Amino acid sequence: MSDRFPLQRSHPDELIVGLVSVSDRASSGVYQDQGVPALADWLRRAVTRPPRIVSRLIPDDRAGIADTLRELVDEARCDLVLTTGGTGPARRDVTPEATLDVATREMPGFGEQMRQVSLAFVPTAILSRQVAVIRELPDHAALIINLPGQPKAIQETLEGLRAEDGVVRIPGVFAAVPYCLDLIGGPYIETHGAVVKAFRPKSARRAGDQQ
C-alpha cells in the first residue's frame, strides 16, 4: 500500500511520524539530504517501540509545505510531524508560515525551548523562527514541530544540554512530546532515558513506566 493512504498500526501504541526535509537544493538533487536520515536515526534510538516513518523531501514553497503537512496528518494519519529546514530569516525560509497555515492551535513553548537550547551553543540561535502547532481533525490530531536544518542541531534541540556528569542542564523538547501526544489522543510513547527521558505527571503514567 502507498504511504499516501492511512497507515495501519501494528500495535495500538505504534507511533506514526512524518519527517519532512524542506530544501530547494536537496530536493532538486544538488546535494544529499541529511535532515530526514538524522531524524529517523534519532527516533529509532530514542523511542522504545520502533516508530512507523513516512518521509518527504520538498522545496521551499509555502503552499507545497502546507499541502505536505496536511497530507501527513489528514491522509497518512501521522501522530507527530517533524520538519527540518527553512526556519531562518532568508526570504525562501517559509516553513514556519506554512506550519501556521495548517495549525489549529499554536504551541509556543516548543520554539522557545529550542532557541534556549541552541543559545547555549551559538548566538545566532536568536535568528531561528521554529514553531510548533497542533492540527486537529474531528477524529484525529497531530503535533507538528519545526526543527533546525543541521543534524547536530537537531539532536541538541531534541535531547537538550547535558553537564559533564550526564545531568540534563537544559531539557530538550522531545521530553515533552510523549505527554503532549497523550493529551491529544495519540499513542502512549516511552523513550530510552539514556537518549532523552520523557516526562509525565505520575497520574498519567501507565503501570511499569518508570519515567
Partner residues linked to 21 by β-bridges: 57, 84
Domain assignment present for 3: no
Domain assignment present for 6: no
**pLDDT per position as a tens digit, 11-23:** 999 999 999 999 8
Domain assignment present for 52: yes
Domain assignment present for 29: yes
Q: How many domains does the chain have?
A: 1
Domain assignment present for 146: yes
Domain assignment present for 99: yes
With CA atoms as reference, report the closest residue to 191 among 17, 39, 15, 8. 15
Domain assignment present for 175: yes
**pLDDT per position as a tens digit, 97-147:** 999 999 999 999 999 999 999 999 899 999 999 999 999 999 999 999 999
Q: Where do we find the cell 547535558?
A: 162
Contact by Cβ (8 Å): 66, 57: no
Whether the model pTM is above 0.85: yes
What is the CATH number for 76? 3.40.980.10
SS (H, E, C) 135-179: EEECCEEEEEEEECCCHHHHHHHHHEEECCCCCEEEECHHHHHHH
With CA atoms as reference, report the closest residue to 81 among 41, 115, 54. 54
The residue segments making up the domain with residue 30 are: 16-204
Domain assignment present for 171: yes
Contacts of 66 (CB under 8 A, 6+ apart): 98, 99, 101, 102
pLDDT above 90 coverage of the chain, percent: 76
Mapped onto helix, strand or coil, the DSSP state of residue 204 is helix
